[in-house]
């Protein structure tokens, strides 16, 4: 899951965006138009968020957090279809159907002090292609999956500091749980240290060995909250949320090395938003029968999108969007420098996507 029009709205994407649990500093003054909804005591859900109160920088948020929307969705499902497009250098074309689902179940919560959540992220891609991995001389996989069960824990200390940690064990592969060699542990931890002026320091570390950065990545950012309409995380990860007029806001984020999200939202009504956005995403998989055991199958793409969001009755959020995918690239290796090994590059194509979020 883009780029937004005249102050519009987007969708998050992929499992890697599950990197985020950094929390912004608490602020006494928050955009009232949005916070009235999320602060409503009759609103269900085990966690409520807002501009200035969301789980973390959008560059690393989980797909379970709808960008630009107050509130947390314990169940989130999306389905995306790309249109057939030519594969460069091969007598083949490619399209795929992608499905993502995230389930978050609170196991324990005590006020704002203790929180323990069971998390489950699932992804399935079904490819329609006759392309080959040219160096390995094997067909491009027809299916790719990722199943990631895990736990998230958060604790707020008496001095206001907040510590959180998330640990998953995933299996990004064409044959999930095929063997120990197709497993991908994931750990991220953070510490937020608020300041008296409402700002905060954010310290984090992220580790996911099957990824673009297969070693622990430290992060440090200063969260600057100059007004109720502007929040900026200055550092790594970088993040900005800016309501620059009554109905328009911008949300953008960056996480090294090649992960970018930038969305523009326009609030057409209290229930309907329009959006446009840009994303630069990447994934990595462990093929069960890979020729070189240490290699990952990398997937990269960029996309522009435009769409609409409806805040439906019964605590349902629905996104419909379409867009343009370009720089779609697959290759085998350990780093981006291996981009010419088993290279499968696909010409630009259109896509459509439907996304549904549920609150209980």
Residue 307: the pLDDT is 94
Secondary structure (3-state) at 315: coil
Indicate the range of 59-73, 230-244, 304-318 predicted with least confidence: 59-73
Determine the Cα–Cα distance for residues 293 and 286; give it in Å rounded to an integer.
9
Taken in order of first residue, the domains within the chain and their CATH numbers are 16-358 (2.40.160)
Query: Tell me: the pLDDT tens digits for 240-266?
Result: 888 999 899 898 888 888 888 888 999
Determine the Cα–Cα distance for residues 149 and 120; give it in Å rounded to an integer.
4
Instruction: State the pLDDT confidence band at 360, using cuts at 50, 70 and 90.
Output: low
Determine the Cα–Cα distance for residues 76 and 350; give it in Å rounded to an integer.
23
Highest average pLDDT, of 55-69, 108-122, 248-262, 318-332, comes from: 318-332
Residue 236: the pLDDT is 87
Report whether pLDDT(334) > 50. Answer: yes
Residue 72: the pLDDT is 58
For the segment 224-234, the average pLDDT, to the nearest whole number, is 89
Determine the Cα–Cα distance for residues 276 and 101; give it in Å rounded to an integer.
23
Determine the Cα–Cα distance for residues 272 and 198; give it in Å rounded to an integer.
31
Secondary structure (3-state) at 19: helix
Instruction: State the pLDDT confidence band at 304, using cuts at 50, 70 and 90.
Output: very high
What does the mean pLDDT of the chain come to? 80
Determine the Cα–Cα distance for residues 7 and 80; give it in Å rounded to an integer.
24
Tokens of 348: 């630009």
Exposure on the CB side of residue 272, measured as CA atoms within 13 A: 6
* Overall pTM > 0.75: yes
Determine the Cα–Cα distance for residues 310 and 274; give it in Å rounded to an integer.
9
Q: Which residues contact 208 (CB under 8 A, 6 or more apart)?
A: 16, 19, 184, 185, 186, 187, 214
């Amino acid at each position: 899951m883009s780029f937004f029009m005249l102050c519009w709205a987007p969708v998050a994407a992929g499992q890697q965006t599950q990197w985020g649990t950094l929390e912004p500093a608490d602020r006494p003054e928050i955009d009232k138009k949005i916070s009235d909804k999320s602060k409503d005591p009759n609103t269900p859900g085990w966690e409520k968020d807002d501009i200035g109160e969301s789980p973390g920088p959008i560059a690393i948020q989980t797909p379970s957090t709808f960008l630009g929307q107050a509130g947390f969705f314990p169940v989130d499902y999306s389905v995306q279809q790309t249109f057939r497009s030519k594969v460069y250098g091969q007598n083949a074309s490619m399209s795929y159907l992608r499905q993502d689902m995230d389930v978050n179940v609170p196991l324990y919560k005590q006020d704002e002090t203790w929180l323990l959540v069971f998390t489950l992220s699932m992804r399935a891609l079904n490819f329609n292609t006759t392309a080959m991995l040219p160096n390995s001389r094997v067909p491009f996989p027809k299916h790719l999956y990722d199943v990631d069960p895990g736990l998230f824990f958060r604790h707020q200390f008496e001095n206001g500091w907040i510590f959180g940690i998330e640990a998953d064990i995933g299996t990004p592969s064409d044959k999930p749980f095929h063997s120990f060699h197709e497993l991908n542990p994931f750990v991220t931890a953070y510490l937020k240290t608020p300041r008296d002026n409402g700002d905060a320091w954010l310290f984090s570390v992220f580790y996911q060995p099957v990824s673009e950065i297969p070693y622990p990545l430290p992060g440090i950012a200063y969260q600057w909250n100059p007004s109720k309409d502007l929040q900026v995380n200055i550092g790594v990860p970088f993040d900005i949320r800016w309501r620059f007029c009554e109905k328009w806001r911008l949300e953008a984020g960056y996480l090294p090395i090649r992960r970018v999200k930038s969305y523009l939202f326009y609030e057409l009504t209290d229930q309907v938003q329009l959006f446009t956005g840009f994303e630069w995403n990447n994934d990595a998989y462990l093929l069960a029968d890979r020729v070189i055991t240490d290699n990952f199958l990398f997937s990269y793409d960029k996309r522009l999108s435009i769409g609409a969001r409806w805040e439906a009755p019964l605590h349902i959020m629905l996104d419909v969007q379409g867009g343009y995918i370009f720089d779609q690239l697959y290759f085998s290796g350990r780093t981006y420098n291996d981009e010419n090994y088993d290279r499968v590059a696909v010409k630009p194509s259109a896509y459509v996507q439907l996304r549904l979020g549920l609150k209980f």
